[in-house]
Amino acid sequence: MSLANRMALASPLISSVTIEAEEFPELSRAFGVQGVPRTVVNRRGAFVGALPEAQFVGAVLQLAGAASEPPQGGSGASG
């Protein structure tokens, strides 16, 4: 199970949607998907690649404005 899903299971404030990028090309273009997995948080910030749990949680919460640690490899959602 992806870390995003596990975070959604653990917190009632978090939701996770896994999008099949090739099936939704317009949505993928809108969020600047050039490589996968690309994780987009609150439709703003994003990062590419699979991260270990601590880094993934930190990156997501940082992009959501709910943590102090900087995301690794982060960028704008359309970036």
Partner 1 sequence: MSILTDRLREQLKERFAERLRGPVQLTLFTRPGSGRLILPSGLGCPTCEDAKRMAEDLAAAAPERVQLQVVDVSGGGGEVTEVPTLTVGVPGERSRIRWQGLPAGFEFATVVDAIERVSTGAHELSPDSLQRLAAVRDPVEIMVFATPG
Which 49-78 residues touch partner 1, going by CB under 8 A? Answer: 53-54, 57-58, 60-61, 64-67
* Beta-strand relationship, 38-41 and 45-48: antiparallel
Q: Counting contacts by CB under 8 A, is residue 4 touching partner 1?
A: yes
The whole-angstrom separation of Cα 20 and Cα 62 is: 25
Considering only 5, 49, 74, 75, the residue that binds partner 1 (CB under 8 A) is: 5
Token digits for 10? Answer: 């653990």
The continuous run of DSSP H or E covering 55 comes out as: helix 53-63
Sites of contact with partner 1 (CB under 8 A): 1-2, 4-24, 26-28, 31, 33, 36-43, 53-54, 57-58, 60-61, 64-67
